[in-house]
Amino acid sequence: IAQKKLEIAALVQSTPVVVFTYSLSPFCTETTALLDRLMMNNNNNKNNNNNISYHEISLGGEWLPGLLQEPVTRAALAEMTGQSSLPHVFVGGKSIGGLFSGTPGLVPALKEGTFLDMVQQAVVAAAARTTTTTPGRTSSESSNSIASL
């Protein structure tokens, strides 16, 4: 579990928005559909120059035995955040919880008007990380762009 926690931490730090899902969960499906609509609307805004996307990690069909393909990932998430249920959304490396609950949760963050601001801050931070210079090349040459995730 320790190694998986390190992998999760690296992923959620390197990608502005990450969502862990089950493919058969209606809450997960609703979360990704909502994110799809939000990201599409934001990317179509002519006043916005940022291509925002999210990275989905499916842990299998559902939490039931035989349908869960990544039990270690689920256990690591639970240890890291105290939440074992999915969906689980991370923005800028921080857990905001699930669809309706968490810290504060996707829907509550949207109602509060804070979600898109959190995403924008995460995009800016990710862009800053990918443009740091190392001898001979920039780190953006060796990493995936936000748009390709």
Model confidence, pTM? 0.81
Count of other CB atoms within 10 angstroms of residue 54:
21
Nearest to 56 by CA among 93, 80, 23: 23
Tens digit of pLDDT for each residue in 57-109?
999 888 777 777 888 999 999 999 999 999 999 999 999 999 999 999 999 99
Q: Which two tokens stand for residue 98?
A: 């699930």
Given the structure tokens 């800016």, which residue do they identify?
124
Q: Which two tokens stand for residue 93?
A: 């490396």
SS (H, E, C) the chain: CHHHHHHHHHHHHHCCEEEEECCCCHHHHHHHHHHHHHHHHHHHCCCCCCCCCCEEEECECCCCCCCECCHHHHHHHHHHHCCCCCCEEEECCEEEECCCCCCCCHHHHHHHCCHHHHHHHHHHHHHHHHCCEECCEEHHHCCCCHHHC
Tens digit of pLDDT for each residue in 30-45?
999 999 998 877 666 6
What is the pLDDT confidence band of residue 138, given thresholds at 50, 70 and 90? very low
